A and B are shown apart, each in its own frame.
Chain A
Amino acid sequence: MEKRVTFNERTLPYVLVAPQIIVTLVFFFWPSGQMVWQSVLLEDAFGGNSRFVWFDNFVHLFEDSAYFASVRLTLVFSALVASLGLAVSLLLAVMADRVIRGAGAYKTFLVWPYAVAPAVAGVLWGFLFNPSVGIVAWLLYAIGIDFNYVSNGNQAFLLVVFAAVWSQVSYNFLFFLAGLQSIPRSLIEAAAIDGAGPGRRFWDIVFPLLSPTGFFLLVINIIYAFFQTFGIVGSLTQGGPGQATNILVWKVYNDGFRGQDLGGSAAQSVILMAVVVLLTFVQFRFIERRVHY
């Protein structure tokens, strides 16, 4: 889409785009270019010397079983976060859409977790499940479950999933609620007159009409689980115990900053970049479809 009426100026438009273009060039293109360049270099441990190694970093990565473990972990993680997060928030949104009394209050109380930083959410959940002082850990112990996320890898993983879902529920809830409220009442009333109960109406009318929102949220949630859960991992488990919560985005940071393996870390970033490009592409394709829906 283009404007029919425009202004004629020679230099002004360049002045206006300059700040954003400069910031983008310096803090986006320069580092991204370096990242791609670094992914084909091998730097020795003391810095300074580096040599061009073609795709050795990628080959190393693909031969590394730890990397595949992290890939598998991230896939399971994002599948769990996305499915749990979507299911819980859809349930809450459908219920909030039904009730008349108190709908506004429910909404207010369900949206604010969005404002809690993932890193802080990690701290809160770590406190609840802390093996020595956590109240939930204490309750679990009382019913015979020894929950210790500091030493048990599976439990640590589960806890990160919970915290991640908790952080994302309000976002999903808002979009589902908006989607539900845009469904024409007349359709639902017509179905009710024809004798369809609430369950039938949900599966035959609401659910199909909500599927574009659901699909959009699915992509957003996968992106969220892949990248924005960094803060949760950072303040809850730091990738451990062992490799139990070492998801890809944490591994990039950990290998690059703590392990000083710049080439390997850059190669991982390039692969992650491919994932984002793919997901963004899927999302844009979908939005185009939604327009024609």
Chain B
Amino acid sequence: MVENRPVVTFLSHFVLIVGLIIVAFPVWMTFVASTHDQATMLRSPVPLLPGPYLLDNYRQVLFEGFGRGFSDTPTWLTLMNSLIMALGVAVGKIAISIISAFAIVYFRFPFRMIFFWAIFVTLMLPVEVRIVPTYGVVARLGMLDSYSGLIIPVIASATATFLFRQFFLSVPDELTEAARVDGASPMRFFRDILLPMSRTSIAALFVIQFIYGWNQYLWPLLITTKESFYTVVMAVSRQATAVDATPSWNLLMAMAMLAMLPPVLVVVFMQRQFVRGLVETEK
């Protein structure tokens, strides 16, 4: 700020606070709904402050599911599946892209540019668009209702490869020369020099890809038919589209809170890596 204008400063705070309230309001109401019993949530208007049923509701969705034969999948299971998928997507994407970026930057070999472009064009077609044929391929490979089916098709993407390529190109050549003079093999150079240097990029990417994997919706919706493979985001969405038939708003909202909590915690506690990852993957 260049000069002191109390009115403008006040206005800024005011706008920001109004913005915060609007941004937080849906989540606040979700939290409130998850702490009341079913009867309270069906009386209009719904309460604006938390009630006493927090533990009951969360215990029920975590360990018993919705009950009434509607969906008995306990939410801890879907959270577990989401965690496996999110970690699998994050680790898998980082692993395959860091080595392919290493190959493309540090070696000269026939078809190198063809490989590079083959990876590049995956930017062109988001998974939502090619969903029908991808489903066909996964079905033919017998990967429906499996963790590999949940994870592997989602990790075909170019953004991480680009990020690592960009980073490797900025690593000074002297380091490579020194390693070669000392007789280090390429993989030794990769493990002892490049990998430690890429730590911050890896952390940033991990945060972004974890959220991406956790928040996948369409893909798990299609390829899982067994409830034991449901992820939490799709389970919430499935319950929501049926909630008018069995109006357990308190349970649905407890489930929604559980679905939001892990990625939100990751963003809040790893904010620096998150911001860095967001800005870098878009370049």
Chain A interface (Cβ within 8 Å of chain B)? 1, 3-7, 9-10, 12-14, 16-17, 19-21, 23-32, 34-35, 38, 88, 91-92, 95-96, 98-100, 102, 106-128, 132-135, 138-139, 166, 169-171, 174-175, 178, 185, 188-189, 192, 198, 216, 220, 223, 227-228, 230-231, 234-235, 238, 249, 252-253, 256-257, 262, 265-266, 269, 272-273, 276-277, 280, 287
Contacts and interface: CB of A to CB of B under 8 A. Distances in A.
Contact of B13 (A99, A111, A198): A99
Looking at chain B's contact residues, the main secondary structure is: helix
B26 A166 contact: yes
Q: Kindly list the 4 A-B residue pairs having the minimum CB-CB distance in the complex, ordered from nearest.
A: A117-B215, A16-B103, A31-B133, A115-B263
A123 B256 contact: yes
B264 A118 contact: no
Contacts of A216: 282
Interface of B: 1-3, 5, 8-9, 11-13, 15-16, 19-20, 23-27, 29-30, 33, 41-42, 44-46, 48, 95-97, 99-100, 102-109, 112, 115, 118-119, 121-126, 128-138, 141, 152-153, 155-156, 161, 168-169, 173, 176-177, 180, 186-187, 189, 211, 214-218, 221-222, 233-234, 236-237, 240-241, 244, 247, 249, 252-253, 256, 259-260, 263-264, 266-268, 271, 274-275, 278-279, 282-283
B29 A127 contact: yes
B20 A109 contact: yes
Contact of B129 (A111, A249, A280): A249
B266 A31 contact: no
Main secondary structure of the interface of A (DSSP, over half): helix
B264 A115 contact: yes
B180 A7 contact: yes
A31 B240 contact: no
Contacts, number: 309
A257 B244 CA distance: 24
B283 A287 contact: yes
Contacts of A120: 215, 233, 236-237, 256, 259-260
Nearest to B45: A138
B113 to A, nearest CB: 11
Given A122-B240, A128-B29, A269 B263 contact: no
Nearest to B112: A13
B107 A6 contact: yes
B29 to A, nearest CB: 6
Contacts of B215: 115-120, 231
B124 A133 contact: no
A269 B129 contact: yes
B3 A3 contact: no
A99 B103 contact: no
Contact of A252 (B1, B131, B187): B131
A108 to B, nearest CB: 6
Scoring A14, A27, A138 by chain B CB atoms within 10 A of each residue's CB, the highest score goes to A27
Contacts of A134: 46
22 contacts: A5-B173, A9-B186, A17-B115, A20-B156, A23-B156, A27-B134, A27-B137, A28-B121, A115-B263, A115-B266, A123-B252, A126-B240, A166-B26, A175-B279, A198-B8, A230-B128, A235-B237, A238-B241, A252-B129, A253-B131, A257-B135, A277-B124
Contacts of A266: 132-133
B96 A228 contact: no
